[in-house]
Structure 1
Amino acid sequence: MGGGPVTLFLCGDVMLGRGVDQILPHPGDPALREDCIRDARAYVELAEAANGPIPPAVDFSWPWGDALEVLDAAAPAARVVNLETSVTRHETFAPGRHVHYRMNPANLPCLAASRPDVCVLANNHVLDFGHRGLAETLDALDGAGLRTAGAGRNADAAARPAIVPLESDRRILVLSFGMTSSGIPERWAATRHRGGVRLVSGATQAAAYETVGLVRQMKRPGDVVVASIHWGSNWGYTVHQDQIRFAHALIDGGVDVVHGHSSHHPRPLETYRGKLIIYGCGDFIDDYEGITGYEQYRDDLRPLYLVSLEPDTGRLADMRITPLQARRMRLRHASHEDARWLRTLLDGMGHGLRPSADSHPEGTFVLRPS
């Protein structure tokens, strides 16, 4: 089989709704039903108060900022993002929710600007505007030619992996699923006759075995399998033992990379049997600038992960991390000091990983299996 490493771009939550939607060329209805904020434009005002004015009607690439140049230079084989918003004009707010994310379908070129190969959807905001909102989201993404995984019009569609073809008849398979620990309501689970997300029972051995069964049915020699999981709380560095056991069981069963997300800041990294586990990527794009209360976690810093895998084994060759920072609802290269802070954090949380002494531009650093 041979060939060079297979490189994946992975990131955390991409939340293009609410305040971000309002700065784009086609802002949707700004109405919200949150306890304190009833107009999405208030999030734009918070960001501007924190870091300066945002131009009116920015272009579609604005939120991605410097990330696009990094991605173009790296030319990864697949770009995988967790799209954590509804893409809909539907006006019925899902009941029992304190926060709702909605992006106008006319602003989809913003998502397309990053050229994602897979949008994973098994998260706690994709049904913020109910099943009609989900149906419009699926239609909009399909119409834009974007692959999805983790949500669908029934349980079979939600469980189906996204497949990215590679050379020599090889493939990248992306499975997406979520857990209630991330805030996904049980009623959002896809069923035989109703659309929804692929929701597993939790980080249990039974759920791991079910997922491993799917992997063994689909995986062919030379394939790379990514399990993209929305799980866990928003804040804190602790990874619970059940999550660790779950991730290890997936690797034992044939998964090559565990791509965890939901936390608003990075959580520990691990190599297990030579395979990479990211327990929490941290947010990537959102409208959280100016919101205070958790400054110690530095959720303004947004890691861009470029994961290179050995072509024959799927084992981690190395991982390049470029520290970005959200300012004026745009990703910019972090300062030297902030990049060093993030590197120190991830170096200390990288179990089975060692930092490389290689010199890279723009604060990028490299972790390799130890």
Structure 2
Amino acid sequence: MVYAENWSQPSILELARSGNFQALNYWIDSLLRPEGIYARVEQAQAGCVQILVEFQRELAPDNTLLGSTLREGLVKFICHQLWRLNSPAVEGVRIHARLAGEPEILWKQSVRIVTPANSRQRRYRSLLVVDWVKFKTYRSLLLVGSALASFILGCWVTYHEALALRSISVSPYQQAAAMSGPPPKRPDAVQAALEVVPVVQQKQVANPYDPTVTLMFGGNVNLLDAIGASSGNDYDWAFANMDEYRQADVAMVNLENPLTSSTLNPGKKQLNFKANPESVKVLTAGGVDIVNLANSHAMDYEEPGLVDTINTLNNAGIGHLGAGRNIKEARRPDIIEVKGQRIAYLGYYDADLHAADQGKAGINSRRNNRVAEDIRALRGQVDWIIVNYHWGVELADYPGDWQIDLARFTIDQGADLVVGHHPHVLQGAEVYKGRPIVYSLGNFIFGANARSDYDTAVLKVSLKDRNMKVEFLPVEVKKFQPNVVKGAAGSRILKHVEQISSIFDRPMGAQVVLDAPINPAMLPKIPNPLFPGAAKTDTPGPNSPDSRGESNLPAPGQPKPTLILPPLPAAPKQPDNSSLFQNGTGPAIESSPPPTSQDLPPRIYPTQRDQPSKEADPFTTEPFIKKPFISPPSPRTEGIPSPQGYLPPTGDLSFKVALKEYSISAMVPGKRIDRSGQSIALPPIAANIS
């Protein structure tokens, strides 16, 4: 749903010119974003703005970022835009530059901006000072004749002069406050790709006075009988030591079993799970608010089992996503608003097995064009988008290259967080374009496992203003009961997470703070003339008249601006590699034009900002990892696989290749020639292998 534009609101340009730093941030960032450079504007002191610019490492592969060419061009570009803005509230700029994701500041530069607006303001102030000096002289002369009259006159002049100076100094900010006004009220529903989805108001939170929104993500949860046997059918037992889940504002898990009493023959599938619908009390006691059903076991008992699960979750007040009675319900996102922040959850299963369709219950199957449509439909209406994938190879310590491509593609479409499930073990995590990707959270409370004791981790995400703090919490599971641990045990688990994350260019550590900009949908639209290439501009320029018909050029005697619009370094052109997904396990995404500045989603960056300028195609021609990093699983001795467990085989793996002699026949159009050179009039065959 697109917010209706309020025609009484000022434009971004007007807000920025009046001194609104939020609008100024959005305006500057939109100008630099096409070049792969991102800006954050803050107020350093009265009349001076501070701009932090961040570059993606790809823009300076040879450390040319440290050179003077890019620095000089960028400083001139920013100063020229501020001069064109012609704001009386901006008299100077302080620019800090650094690489995205790096805390070190590469260089700083301060520049004084002389614009027609603030030149007139300073000139008027200087005239007031001159008048004040003249009047003091006149008053001194009057004191010779009449001390009392001079005293009264001096008080009167001082009073009115103080009022005049005060009005000059605060009027831009008063104007900004009056023009900005309260933000528009958000609607109670959003327009998703297929339907209008209501927004769920999450009012039952642990600390309603804390503006920080806390999200929790756990791995696979399976509520089979093994948990009941360990807990004595105590529904509070499983999450008894997980206060972190109950204290979170929104807690989520991947539910790997239907909640059904169905006796339907599950068919020929090797492992089929189900739990008594009463087991949902384990989730409610643990503080779980939403579950992902887009997985390999949601349809173990066909449509009746899925329908029972959905009804049971609805009755318990637990949200669900990724599966439904039809394709519309399966694709339906779960939209939750908590403490003023609107969060969208999406779930996909990377297989077409039991895929939902029109009038057919099933899973939300992952298709690239579907993922793109779902995210883009929501991007301008919510603050955060979280995508869950059920994917990968069981017991693999690392994701496949196709998973990495898919996760990054998802971020490119506008997602803020990607969370993976299915492998039953922890996998690595990375930060891509300033957004976290967690490839697998492993098992959380998995009653179908033959082992009841294992190590894992949960993901905690804290949202406050424009910041996202992401951290792994180490968890030890004993007799299917998880517990967040510290000390040596916690360090061991976190070290393992860091180790399996080290394969990425930008691995995500145990804790990272990321940053995202304001939601552009909640601000008035930027007029098209702001962007390069527009035919006409309303922004005051060197030769454009102002509203009174006067030229913005400084009058004779005033300092003339010497800045010219310099070319910025072009962002690296990305090759077209859409064929990578066309040859993969799923259908390729439909081609689409590169996103415009208004299509781009809110961004998040380590510490401050981190997002390169790339085109819509997220893939690379070169392999992400030069050498294969996923080797055949090594032998393990924990146990022997059983129908109720996910354990690797204990025997050694052996690979035997039987070589056979072969002969090759040459191909010619319409015939075949064998070794003897004879032509055989048979249907063409490329090779004859015997």
Instruction: Tell me the TM-score normalized by structure 2.
Output: 0.42
CA, structure 1 residues 309+273, in 2 after alignment: closer, same or farther (shift >3 Å)?
farther
Contact 1:85/1:101 (8 A) holds in 2? yes
CA, structure 1 residues 219+166, in 2 after alignment: closer, same or farther (shift >3 Å)?
farther
Could you tell me how far apart the structure 2 residues matched to 1:149 and 1:117 are?
Answer: 12
Q: What's the counterpart of residue 359 of structure 2? A: 193
Q: What's the counterpart of residue 491 of structure 2? A: 340
1:294-313 matches, within 5 Å, as 300-309=454-463, 311-312=465-466
Q: What's the counterpart of residue 129 of structure 1? A: 301
**SS of alignment partner, residue 229 of structure 1:** strand
Aligned partner (choices 502, 511, 514) of residue 366 of structure 1: 511
Aligned partner (choices 46, 58, 62) of residue 237 of structure 2: 62
Q: Which amino acid aligns with 1:287?
A: G
Instruction: Tell me the TM-score normalized by structure 1.
Output: 0.76
Distance apart, 1:249 and its partner CA? 1.1
Contact 1:190/1:196 (8 A) holds in 2? yes
Distance apart, 1:55 and its partner CA? 5.2
Contact 1:93/1:128 (8 A) holds in 2? no
CA, structure 1 residues 113+215, in 2 after alignment: closer, same or farther (shift >3 Å)?
same
Distance apart, 1:223 and its partner CA? 1.7
Contact 1:12/1:81 (8 A) holds in 2? yes
Could you tell me how far apart the structure 1 residues matched to 2:231 and 2:258 are?
Answer: 25
Q: Which amino acid aligns with 1:250?
A: T
Could you tell me how far apart the structure 1 residues matched to 2:257 and 2:309 are?
Answer: 9
Could you tell me how far apart the structure 1 residues matched to 2:244 and 2:248 are?
Answer: 10
CA RMSD of aligned residues (A): 2.5
Q: Which amino acid aligns with 1:175?
A: L
Could you tell me how far apart the structure 2 residues matched to 1:220 and 1:17 are?
Answer: 41
Distance apart, 1:124 and its partner CA? 0.7
1:91-102 matches, within 5 Å, as 91-102=263-274
Distance apart, 1:329 and its partner CA? 2.2
Q: What's the counterpart of residue 270 of structure 1? A: 430
Relative to total residues, which structure has the larger strand share, 1 or 2? Answer: 1
1:81-96 matches, within 5 Å, as 81-96=253-268
Q: What's the counterpart of residue 296 of structure 1? A: none
Distance apart, 1:288 and its partner CA? 5.3
Could you tell me how far apart the structure 2 residues matched to 1:89 and 1:141 are?
Answer: 14
Distance apart, 1:261 and its partner CA? 0.7
CA, structure 1 residues 86+333, in 2 after alignment: closer, same or farther (shift >3 Å)?
same
Which string of whole-angstrom CA distances, capped at 9 and with x for unpartnered residues, describes residues 116-167 of structure 1? 2211100011111111111111111111121110010000100000111123
Distance apart, 1:290 and its partner CA? 4.7
Q: What's the counterpart of residue 247 of structure 1? A: 407
**SS of alignment partner, residue 403 of structure 2:** helix
Q: Which amino acid aligns with 1:19?
A: A
Could you tell me how far apart the structure 2 residues matched to 1:221 and 1:129 are?
Answer: 36
Q: What's the counterpart of residue 234 of structure 1? A: 394
Distance apart, 1:324 and its partner CA? 1.7
Contact 2:231/2:238 (8 A) holds in 1? no
Could you tell me how far apart the structure 1 residues matched to 2:408 and 2:288 are?
Answer: 27
Q: Which amino acid aligns with 2:220?
A: D
1:1-370 matches, within 5 Å, as 5-20=212-227, 22-23=228-229, 54=230, 56-57=232-233, 59-67=234-242, 69-72=243-246, 75-168=247-340, 170-180=341-351, 186-200=352-366, 207-287=367-447, 290-291=450-451, 300-309=454-463, 311-312=465-466, 317-334=468-485, 336-350=487-501, 351=504, 352-353=506-507, 355=509, 366-368=511-513, 369=606
Q: Which amino acid aligns with 1:71?
A: Y
Q: Which amino acid aligns with 2:280?
A: L
Distance apart, 1:93 and its partner CA? 3.4
Contact 2:428/2:498 (8 A) holds in 1? no
Which string of whole-angstrom CA distances, capped at 9 and with x for unpartnered residues, describes residues 99-127 of structure 1? 11111112221111122221110001111
**SS of alignment partner, residue 375 of structure 2:** helix
Could you tell me how far apart the structure 2 residues matched to 1:332 and 1:187 are?
Answer: 35
Distance apart, 1:235 and its partner CA? 0.9
Distance apart, 1:60 and its partner CA? 0.9
Which string of whole-angstrom CA distances, capped at 9 and with x for unpartnered residues, describes residues 72-122 of structure 1? 4xx333212111110000011321211111111122211111222211100
CA, structure 1 residues 311+209, in 2 after alignment: closer, same or farther (shift >3 Å)?
farther
CA, structure 1 residues 311+95, in 2 after alignment: closer, same or farther (shift >3 Å)?
farther
Could you tell me how far apart the structure 2 residues matched to 1:55 and 1:274 are?
Answer: 42
Q: Which amino acid aligns with 2:475?
A: L
Q: Which amino acid aligns with 1:263?
A: P
Could you tell me how far apart the structure 2 residues matched to 1:238 and 1:304 are?
Answer: 17
Could you tell me how far apart the structure 2 residues matched to 1:247 and 1:270 are?
Answer: 10
Distance apart, 1:4 and its partner CA? 5.3
Could you tell me how far apart the structure 2 residues matched to 1:307 and 1:238 are?
Answer: 22
Q: Which runs of 5+ in 1 are unaligned?
A: 24-53, 181-185, 201-206, 293-298, 356-364
Q: Which runs of 5+ in 2 are unaligned?
A: 1-21, 23-182, 184-209, 514-605, 608-690
Could you tell me how far apart the structure 2 residues matched to 1:234 and 1:18 are?
Answer: 22
**SS of alignment partner, residue 330 of structure 2:** helix
For the pair shown, which has the larger CA radius of gyration, 1 or 2? 2
Q: Which amino acid aligns with 1:346?
A: V
Contact 1:122/1:198 (8 A) holds in 2? yes
Q: Which amino acid aligns with 1:329?
A: F
Distance apart, 1:63 and its partner CA? 1.4
**Count of matched residue positions in the alignment of Structure 1 and Structure 2:** 305
Distance apart, 1:65 and its partner CA? 3.0
Distance apart, 1:232 and its partner CA? 0.7
Distance apart, 1:285 and its partner CA? 0.5
Q: Which amino acid aligns with 1:258?
A: V
**SS of alignment partner, residue 348 of structure 1:** helix
Segments of 4+ moved more than 6 angstroms: none
Sequence identity (%): 24
CA, structure 1 residues 154+341, in 2 after alignment: closer, same or farther (shift >3 Å)?
same
Distance apart, 1:221 and its partner CA? 4.9
Distance apart, 1:289 and its partner CA? 5.7
Distance apart, 1:195 and its partner CA? 0.6
Further displaced range: 282-291 or 187-196 = 282-291
Which string of whole-angstrom CA distances, capped at 9 and with x for unpartnered residues, describes residues 186-239 of structure 1? 341111011111012xxxxxx333212111112335521010110011112222
